Amino acid sequence: MVSNALSSWAFLMLCLFSPDSEYHFDSMNAGLESPVQFVVHHAKDRGHADHGWLNTHHSFSFAGWHDPAKMHFGAMRVLNDDVVSGGGGFGMHPHDNMEIVSIPTQGALEHKDSMGNSSVIRTGDVQIMSAGTGVRHSEFNHSASEEVAFFQIWIYPSEQGLEPRYDQEPYEPNSNGLTCIVSPDGAEGVRIHQRSWLYTGQLEAGEKLSQPLHGAGQGLYVMVLDGAVTIEGQLLERRDAMGIWDAESVELDANSSCSLLLIEVPMQW
């Protein structure tokens, strides 16, 4: 049964790297005239595991997949692209000192936690769980027969030992451009304990977008969900991603109609 196999696998999910460390990126593109720094992560180079009930891709080292060059991007520790079969899911397991964001893109997730929350997160919702001093939760496919697809993002908080907190909000994506679904003060989307902003976006072929960053020391990680976009002369296609820092803004040029996920985080915290 899926539920019997879950507990051991769920514990493997736990982040084993100290959030107290201070991370720095080297200058990866020193030969460029632009001072902008970037790293490209192609979809084919992500970690992958198919557990039958779970088909998952990891942008950063996670569970049994380890790449020392892909430990994090700034304060973002995890970006998982998960598909869970009908009736499948993650049994009760613990987290602490992490901001955990879930974004369904197909179907719905059923959430329960040790704070007493019980809810269904549907496509068009964004959920955040601030694990703080410690929380246990479970996530299951709300459907017994249809798949659920979602992105889960773990971001180190700006402070340790915070009181655990849960929030969930629906959002209306803009037909063109970006929609902010996570922000530090919760004025747009759900609130996160970090200088971090998350956006979903839709651009049409030939459309250009300039996305400003929120001050020095910030970085932007762009994942192409579908379609193709060019950033800093690099063509990114479905599930390719690029992290950019040492920039005041990031210029995106849509090669085709495309869907995007943008994650802004501090590069040191």
What is the extent of the structural domain holding 83?
A: 2-14+24-266
Q: Quick check: 229 and 255 in contact, CB under 8 A?
A: yes
Q: Map tokens 């060019």 to a residue.
A: 230
Q: Quick check: 17 and 77 in contact, CB under 8 A?
A: yes
Joined tokens for residue 17: 């790297």
Joined tokens for residue 153: 């993002």
Cβ partners under 8 Å of residue 86, min gap 6: 141, 143, 144, 145, 146, 147
Q: Is residue 234 part of a domain?
A: yes
pLDDT in tens, the chain (269 residues): 344 334 333 434 443 333 333 333 344 444 445 689 999 999 999 999 999 999 999 999 999 999 999 999 999 999 999 999 999 999 999 999 999 999 999 999 999 999 999 999 999 999 999 999 999 999 999 999 999 999 999 999 999 999 999 999 999 988 779 999 999 999 999 999 999 999 999 999 999 999 999 999 999 999 999 999 999 999 999 999 999 999 999 999 999 999 999 999 999 98
Cα angle 220, 80, 209 (rounded to 5 degrees) comes to 30
The CATH number linked to 227 is 2.60.120.10
Cα torsion 198, 46, 71, 27: sign: negative
Q: Is residue 19 part of a domain?
A: no
Alpha carbon 213 to chain centroid distance?
17
Number of domains in the chain: 1
Helices (H) and strands (E) in the chain, counts: 1, 22
Tell me the C-alpha distance between 206 and 5, whole Å: 47
Alpha helix (H) residue ranges in the chain:
2-12
Cβ partners under 8 Å of residue 8, min gap 6: none
Q: Map tokens 């955990």 to a residue.
A: 100
